[in-house]
């Protein structure tokens, strides 16, 4: 089993993350932000990556630290579970429809973090979660996990559907990218012999 664990404790947040890349999409999520919980649950279920995420954050200040730090910790746990990335598919892509919305997410587990974000929201909150933090969550995961990540909403109008399509697309792209490919014989999928840098 390819598993990762991160504990992150600062004056702003106290976080535990555990992931299993070879799981079945089981999750136990508690961030204190209901809509964020729902999105990470979607990520786990549709990627088949088991995720435990427990956060005690300074929500009396605002949601920024909880959102950012939980994404950093999740990315670190994913990176830990991937190890040297030997034998993985590396690339993943998904078109993710949800009613009137279509999102496209493409990922390269490159070790070179980069986010291209082509999505926008027309309301300030989903549930109690500030929509401006959604892009920041994806940026933080990409940075800490070493992902080249492109997220684009091709069309859509309902803000809930837009957000959920992005998370489900990310999940399905990551499922492809982390899968082990028997044809690679355990080789790192790069002519350099390593990923990153």
Q: Between residues 189 and 196, which one has the greater pLDDT?
A: 196
Does the domain made of 3-184 have the CATH classification 3.10.180.10?
Answer: no
Q: Residue 29 pairs with which residues in a beta bridge?
A: 53
Q: Where are the domains of the chain?
A: 3-184
DSSP-derived 3-state class of residue 2: coil
What residues contact residue 144 under an 8 Å CB cut-off, 6+ apart?
71, 72, 73, 74, 75, 76, 79, 113
Contact between 165 and 110 under an 8 Å Cβ cutoff? The reply is no
Q: Determine the pLDDT at residue 52.
A: 98
Query: CA 31: distance to chain centroid?
Result: 15
pLDDT in tens, 144-168: 999 999 999 999 999 999 999 999 9
Longest CA pairwise span in the chain (Å): 51
Confidence of residue 192 (pLDDT cuts 50, 70, 90): low
pTM of the model: 0.94
Please state the rounded mean pLDDT for residues 108-122.
Answer: 97
pLDDT tens per residue, range 45-86: 999 999 999 999 999 999 999 999 999 999 999 999 999 999
* Distance separating alpha carbons of residues 119 and 162, to the nearest angstrom: 8
Over residues 161-184, the mean pLDDT reads: 95
């Amino acid at each position: 089993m390819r598993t990762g664990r991160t504990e992150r404790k600062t004056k702003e947040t106290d976080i535990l993350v555990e992931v299993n890349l070879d799981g079945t999409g089981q999750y136990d999520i508690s961030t204190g932000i209901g809509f964020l919980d729902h999105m990470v649950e979607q990520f786990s279920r549709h990627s088949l990556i088991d995720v435990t995420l427990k956060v005690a954050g300074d929500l009396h200040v605002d949601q920024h630290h909880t959102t950012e730090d939980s994404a950093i910790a999740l990315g670190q746990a994913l990176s830990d579970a991937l190890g040297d990335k030997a034998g993985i598919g590396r690339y993943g892509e998904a078109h993710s429809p949800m009613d009137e919305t279509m999102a496209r997410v493409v990922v390269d587990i490159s070790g070179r973090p980069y986010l291209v974000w082509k999505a926008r929201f027309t309301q300030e909150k989903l549930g109690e979660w500030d929509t401006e933090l959604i892009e920041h969550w994806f940026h933080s995961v990409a940075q800490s996990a070493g992902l080249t990540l492109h997220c684009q909403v091709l069309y859509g109008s309902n803000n809930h559907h837009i957000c959920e399509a992005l998370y489900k697309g990310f999940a399905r792209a990551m499922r492809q990218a982390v899968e082990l490919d028997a044809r690679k014989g355990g080789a790192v999928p790069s002519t350099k012999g390593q990923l990153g840098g």
